[in-house]
Amino acid sequence: MKKIGIMTTGGDCSGLNTAIHRIIQGARQRKWQVWGILDGTDGLYVNPPAVIRLDDMMLPIENARLAGSFLHNGRADALNFETAAETGRIASFNKRLHKSLQELALDALILIGGNGSLSLAWANRGTYRDVQLICIPKTIDMDMPLTERTIGFDTAVQQLTQFCDQLLLTARSHHRWFVVQAMGRDCGYLALHAGIASGASAILMPEIRFNIDDLVKRISDADTDYGIIMVSEGITLRGHSGRPADMISRKLNAAGITNRTAFPEHIQRAGDTTASDRILATRFADCALNAIENGETYVMTALECGDVHTVGLSDFVASGECISDPHIPELLTSNAYITPDEPLLSVARDMGIYIGEIK
């Protein structure tokens, strides 16, 4: 009988509990034991390791739709890769994680994480040398190479769209514009998708240069006096500082355009998991379990052209745009961004949405 572990790391999102539940289901069909590691690497660092036995009674199906992670994603005050690197304890930190995995005697570990978590796993792959390491990509930012979708993205788009839907009602009542700041870090996919879904008049993304005067003129000349201006949190405006939405709002105010800012913040990470995210989580869970059966390790599940398969973590790191992690400078994280050939850019432009200067 195989003994497998599940660990969720990084930021939370909807779909994590669905993935955990489906792994439990699939493992039961194979008569495998499933153990959940609590609080990500925090649970491996403590002695003894913080784990719980997982079964359908522990995580019933009616709770699998909920956002967040049943296993938790880590504590702010705990030692992790970031704080271990800052304090020169990364070697001893990895040694403790490896020892915990040996004590748990796991045959395989399924790590559900974003690009930072997966990049860390590859950079510190020696820690997982005694188990099969299978990774499942999740993030609301959709900034991961080699997969067309990540768990949590679709639900985040839905949450942000619904937020804008409600704002539009008060915007119309008061003849005002709302500058909505979306999450996404340095990637504009969330802003782009939710902006198109909600009928935004402008969408500003980190990947596309924009002219603030052109934006102001577009809003001034619009046929309506209310609407949504979607701003990704990763944009910058030369000569200005502060939150991106506030910077844009000040420019609109200076031009006499009535507006308010709105920050949906962590509701983008919440909400009942959409059907498409549940299906993706189920497909990724099935792929991960099959990978364990096939003896694979250091791989990630991926969606490509409708097909779900595994790709090597080495390929994942090599395929993205590698940049230094802001908290661990020596760590290179693999990132994906909106490319000029993204079909939705042409759609937005054809719909009259201001998106900046597409080359």
pLDDT one-digit tens code per residue, 200-259: 999 999 999 999 999 999 999 999 999 999 999 999 999 889 999 999 999 999 999 999
Residue 21 has pLDDT above 90, yes or no: yes
Give Dmax (Cα) for the chain. 69
CB 26: neighbour CB atoms within 10 A? Answer: 19
pLDDT at 130: 97
Lowest pLDDT segment from 142-151, 186-195, 349-358: 349-358
pLDDT at 86: 87
pLDDT at 4: 98
Q: Domains in the chain, start-ordered, CATH in brackets? A: 3-152+273-319 (3.40.50.450), 157-269+340-350 (3.40.50.460)
Q: How far, in Å, CA of 148 to CA of 150, rounded?
A: 7
pLDDT at 330: 82
pLDDT at 202: 98
Q: Which residues are catalytic?
A: 141
Residue 171: pLDDT band with limits 50, 70, 90: very high
Summarize pLDDT for 90-120 with one digit per residue, the tens. Answer: 999 999 999 999 999 999 999 999 999 999 9
Residue 329: pLDDT band with limits 50, 70, 90: confident
Summarize pLDDT for 68-86 with one digit per residue, the tens. Answer: 999 999 988 888 898 998 8
For the whole model, what pTM was predicted?
A: 0.97
Residue 123: pLDDT band with limits 50, 70, 90: very high
pLDDT at 252: 98
User: In the numeric block, which tokens belong to residue 233?
Assistant: 């949190």
Quick one: 237 exposed, middle or buried, by C-beta within 10 A (0-12, 13-18, 19+)?
Answer: middle
Residue 359 has pLDDT above 70, yes or no: no
> End-to-end alpha-carbon separation of the chain, Å?
56
Under the phi-then-psi rule, with left for phi > 0, alpha for psi from -120 to 50, and beta for the rest, what region is 253?
A: alpha
Residue 355: pLDDT band with limits 50, 70, 90: very high
Average pLDDT, integer, range 169-193: 98
